[in-house]
């Protein structure tokens, strides 16, 4: 049995920021998988993408990642444009991929399954219900809060949220997604509402302001580890969750796991593309802030 399995589409990403324009592989599943590639944990990926992008699957496999890949008519194609404030981006979706089906996920055998929807129809509610009978579920809320109209991404509410979230052990959202989900601008009030709906570990990422986690009646305020140079924020939330679930799977308590996750995200934002380091790199980076 795997410790962790991620399910989500690998994307084509066009990243536009003050440093110029780059075309990269992306999506929750890609950044999550790359972040765990050199970590001591059994990990697998289930993904779906267009035939023309299958080379990225071969790249991940060559790095040791166990992958089940399905052919989709198209890969998801995102355009991410960042302002000078790397916490803010504008998104467009130029192509969509096929949603995941229950029969594609029937043979998943993992203690924790992390769902990384990019758009609202990636995983139906029945799929969530099916998976919760097999594994502890972690979910990035972002995809359920995105509606694509004429390629433009608009924030929407998730009509089935209260029914779905009772099946989710760990939920990750940023402050904007938290407000859409709960109507709360206060982070702790929003986290409490998500917990009331059934989420066991509520993870709220706040960019350069750090993160807040709520579980078992306790709030954990986690600092951000901001590097001297910021290159690209795309995938930082995915990297954070990879680090968090990895250290939780290794037996760390919530605070230790979240600090490790913040360190991974800090190292990632200092470079374009995914995190490619080791756990020692993360611990050394965190230690540099206390020396």
177-207 pLDDT tens trace: 999 999 999 999 999 999 999 999 999 999 9
Band of residue 81 on the pLDDT scale cut at 50, 70, 90: confident
Q: What is the SS3 string spanning the chain?
A: CEEEEEECCCEEEEEEECCEEEEEEECHHHHHHHHHCCCCCCEEEEEEEEHHHCHHHHHHHHCCCEEEEEEECCCEEEEEEECCCCCCEEEEEEECCCCCCHHHCCCCCEEEEEECCCCCCCCCHHHHHHHHCCCEEEEEHHHHHEEEECCEEEECCCCCHHHHHCCCCEEEEEHHHHHHHHCCCCHHHHHHHHHHCCCCEEEEECHHHCEEEEECCEEEEECCCCCCCCCCCCCHHHHHHHHHHHHHHCCCCHHHHHHHHHHHHHHHHCCCCCCCCCHHHHHHHHHCCCC
Residue range 15-52, pLDDT digits in tens? 888 888 888 888 999 999 999 999 999 999 999 998 88
Per the model's pLDDT, the better-predicted residue between 102 and 90 turns out to be 102
pLDDT digits (tens, 9 = 90+) for 145-189: 988 888 888 889 999 999 999 999 999 999 999 999 999 999 999
Quick: pLDDT tens for 269-282: 998 889 999 999 99
Q: What's the pTM value of the predicted model, to 2 decimals? A: 0.92
């Amino acid at each position: 049995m795997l410790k962790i399995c991620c399910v989500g589409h690998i994307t084509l990403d066009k990243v536009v920021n003050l440093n110029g324009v780059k075309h990269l592989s992306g999506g929750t599943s890609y950044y999550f998988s790359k972040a765990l590639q050199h970590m001591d944990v059994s990990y697998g990926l289930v993904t779906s993408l267009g035939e023309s992008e299958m080379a990225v699957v071969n790249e991940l496999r060559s790095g040791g990642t166990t992958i089940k890949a399905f052919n989709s008519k198209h890969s998801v194609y995102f355009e991410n444009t960042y302002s000078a404030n790397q916490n803010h981006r504008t998104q467009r979706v130029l192509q969509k991929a096929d949603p995941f089906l229950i029969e594609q996920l029937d043979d998943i055998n993992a203690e924790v399954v992390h769902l990384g929807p990019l758009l609202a129809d990636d995983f139906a509610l029945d799929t969530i219900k099916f998976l919760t009978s097999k594994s502890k579920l972690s979910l990035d809320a972002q995809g359920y809060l995105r509606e694509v109209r004429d390629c433009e991404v608009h924030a929407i509410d998730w009509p089935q949220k209260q029914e779905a979230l009772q099946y989710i052990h760990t939920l990750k959202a940023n402050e904007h997604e938290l407000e859409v989900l709960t109507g709360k601008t206060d982070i702790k009030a929003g986290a409490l509402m998500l917990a009331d709906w059934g989420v066991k570990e509520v993870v709220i990422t706040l960019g350069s302001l750090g993160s807040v986690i709520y579980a078992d009646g306790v709030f954990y305020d986690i600092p951000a580890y901001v590097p001297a140079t910021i290159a690209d924020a795309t995938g930082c939330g995915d990297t954070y969750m990879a680090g968090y679930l990895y250290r939780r799977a290794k037996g760390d308590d919530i605070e230790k796991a979240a600090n490790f996750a913040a360190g991974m995200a800090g190292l990632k934002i200092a470079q374009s593309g995914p995190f490619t380091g080791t756990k020692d790199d993360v611990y050394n980076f965190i230690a540099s802030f206390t020396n």
